[in-house]
Amino acid sequence: MHDTAISLIELGAVFFGLGVLGRLAWKIGISPIPLYLLGGLAFGTGGLIPLHGIEAFTHLASEIGVVLLLLLLGLEYSAGELVTGLRRSWLAGLIDIVLNAVPGAVVALMLGWGPIGALTMAGVTYISSSGIVAKVLGDLGRLGNRETPVILSILVFEDLAMAVYLPILTALLAGVSFLGGLTAVGVSLVVITLVLVIALKFGKYVSALIDSPDPEVFLLRLLGSALLVAGIASELQVSAAVGSFLLGIAISGSTAANATRMLEPLRDLFAALFFVVFGLNTDPSQIPPVLPVALALALITAATKIVTGWLASQMQGVGRMGRARAGAALVARGEFSIVIAGLAVASGAVSGELAALATAYVLLMAILGPVAARVVEPVARLFVRRTAPKA
């Protein structure tokens, strides 16, 4: 009974603390992700007051958080939108990969983390935070801007790239052979193609299977199917995250809208626990040595994301101010970068320093991204005035 009481007290303190941090983030206008990570660092290994009674619950809860994050991300898109976005943005998407994945890979190799560490850091620096980007666009009233479809197309391409990348990373982290890795990639591509075909042709049947007029039954079916698909995908070495993302794509129409409305509070709760758990498992004493590297990487990849957004918008005929806004909107990294680092660190196949670098990097980028999106217009106007030829 004593152990249970201590666990309840610790868990209650964590939930209440997350609420305080979330409120603080809302008041100062930033994403709560950096504060959740800092909270985990404060109460984890090497922190101020280490918590040891809630590991079992928080580990499973953080896994559910990843599943819900990716499920709701998939619910944002229909299969048709994904295909259209891929056709429209494939060239800009390839530029995005080269400009933003290479810096992370180079840094990992320079630090001696080997090919697997390089592949992990490439993913960490490559993928923008869809959640932070969507929130910033909404907060700034830019959802109707001409550059916004370009931004969304880039995000769609990145999400599809993750559906291929994660199975490869998972297979390598598991230490499978080269043939096993090829098999995992093949299975992943087959599953992705199959789900897209099902979503395009039979999406209404998938939605009907989950839908229900009773909110309780609907939520049970939705959560049950998400966890089932995530578990099966994990067994097939496709990764639970990708499985839940693909399920979200297959659900469409009013069912997807209802699912998003009902799951958002649960997603935010479990996702917050995921970020806290990542912080709990990161030794804060390892962060100061990698902070200069994280800062340099943040500045470099902020610049490369701005270039990506600029070039992608230019290809679609967007004006200069819109190109600048598109580039700044893509700067933020967040949930996906931590998911990738979390998979790598949990496997034991990479250095613990990678978790510290990823944490410091995401802390910087989750703050820098919203700030860049807010200041880009006045900065761009000032630059235009200074460079304009005098009459």
Query: How many helices (H) does the chain have, and how many strands (E)?
Result: 15, 0
**Which residue has better confidence, 3 or 345?**
345
pLDDT at 295: 95
**Cα–Cα distance, 205 to 198 (Å, whole number):** 9
Joined together, the tokens standing for residue 24 give 């603080």
Greatest mean pLDDT among 1-10, 133-142, 223-232 lies in 223-232
Residue 49 · residue 43 · CB < 8 Å:
yes
DSSP string, 60-85: HHHHHHHHHHHHHHHHT--HHHHHHH
- Average pLDDT on 281-310 reads 90
**Cα–Cα distance, 330 to 283 (Å, whole number):** 29
pLDDT at 102: 95
**Cα–Cα distance, 348 to 217 (Å, whole number):** 39
CATH class, 58-380 region? mainly alpha
| Residue 244 banded pLDDT, cuts 50, 70, 90 | confident
Residue 251, pLDDT above cutoff 60: yes
Domain boundaries, the chain: 58-380
| Residue 236 banded pLDDT, cuts 50, 70, 90 | low
Q: Identify residue 50 by its one-letter amino acid code.
A: P
**Cα–Cα distance, 298 to 165 (Å, whole number):** 22
| Residue 87 banded pLDDT, cuts 50, 70, 90 | confident
The predicted-structure confidence for 153-165, as pLDDT tens digits, reads as follows: 888 788 778 777 8
